């Protein structure tokens, strides 16, 4: 972010993107094209021209599949090419703390897909950030051997095949709620898919048998929030 600011910031980015922008008002009171015209790029290695972009695609990718029918989010620019297509066996945890204990206890082996659920907008409640868990994975040298999927979220510092915002979340009865230890999971970032090797009949039977666990918070503002907040796929807003 410091490099981006030094290179001219968002106005400079908009100046490069100006040919592809349409006029739109902004909270500043100025139109987006006016801001773009005033932008200056001071470092063209940080903010490159369109014909010399850092990557042919943006940093964020949306994945869908039978684990995330309404989508999931991955920061693909922070995933090594060799890890953008990953297959592994699920190790399922109903919260970040239990997953953290397993990682720090040396119980997570290469080839594992950590599944951390009930951390979404309703389940968290508040869609907790999994930064401590991802930092532990990197610190223990597992970033090239272990993937992480969750209905929670990640910080901007996350790297590796960490997929969040899985929707519908577990607390809503999304498919992530019925994954089990040992299920085979495939992450295909170039193909934009996130799938479990489960037939429709098996998945439907598991979903039919699922029952929502007790809410983590039953009183106060967070309980009210959990009852009114929408899915991550619609912005995790209260209605």
Active site residues: 155
Reading across the β-sheet that carries 112-116, which strands appear in turn?
Answer: 60-63, 72-75, 162-164, 147-150, 112-116, 85-93, 184-188, 193-196
Q: Give the CA dihedral 210, 211, 217, 221, nearest 10 degrees.
A: 90
What is the separation of C-alpha 209 from the centre of its chain, rounded to a whole number of angstroms? 27
What is the separation of C-alpha 172 from the centre of its chain, rounded to a whole number of angstroms? 17
Cβ atoms within 10 Å of 45's Cβ, excluding its own: 9
Cis peptide before 168 (omega within 30 of 0): yes
Assess contact for 156 and 41: CB atoms under 8 A: no
Bridge partners of 112, per DSSP, are 89
Cis peptide before 125 (omega within 30 of 0): yes
Q: Measuring CA to CA, which residue among 85, 88, 71 is closest to residue 187? A: 85
Phi/psi region, residue 153 (left: phi>0; alpha: psi -120 to 50; beta: rest), is beta
Cβ atoms within 10 Å of 233's Cβ, excluding its own: 19
Instruction: Take residue 19 and report the two structure tokens written for it.
Output: 């040919």
């Amino acid at each position: 972010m410091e490099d981006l600011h030094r290179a001219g910031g968002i106005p400079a980015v908009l100046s490069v993107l100006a040919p592809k922008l349409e006029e739109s008002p902004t909270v500043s009171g100025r139109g987006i094209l006016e801001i773009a015209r005033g932008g200056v790029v001071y470092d063209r290695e940080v903010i490159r021209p369109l014909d010399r972009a850092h990557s042919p695609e943006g940093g964020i990718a949306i994945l869908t599949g039978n684990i995330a029918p309404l989508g999931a989010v991955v920061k693909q620019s922070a995933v090594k090419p060799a890890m953008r297509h990953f297959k592994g066996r699920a190790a399922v945890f109903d919260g970040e703390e239990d997953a953290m204990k397993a990682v720090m206890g040396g119980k997570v082996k290469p080839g594992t897909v950590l599944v951390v659920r009930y951390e979404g907008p309703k389940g968290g409640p508040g869609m907790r950030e999994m930064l401590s868990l991802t930092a532990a994975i990197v610190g223990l040298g597992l970033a090239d051997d272990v993937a992480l999927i969750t209905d929670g979220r990640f910080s901007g510092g996350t790297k590796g095949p960490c997929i969040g915002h899985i929707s519908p979340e577990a607390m809503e009865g999304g498919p992530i709620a019925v994954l089990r230890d040992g299920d085979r999971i495939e992450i295909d970032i170039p193909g934009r898919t996130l799938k479990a090797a489960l037939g429709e009949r098996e998945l439907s039977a598991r979903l039919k048998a699922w029952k929502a666990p007790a809410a983590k918070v039953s009183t106060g503002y967070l309980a009210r929030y959990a009852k009114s907040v929408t899915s991550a796929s619609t912005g995790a807003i209260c209605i």
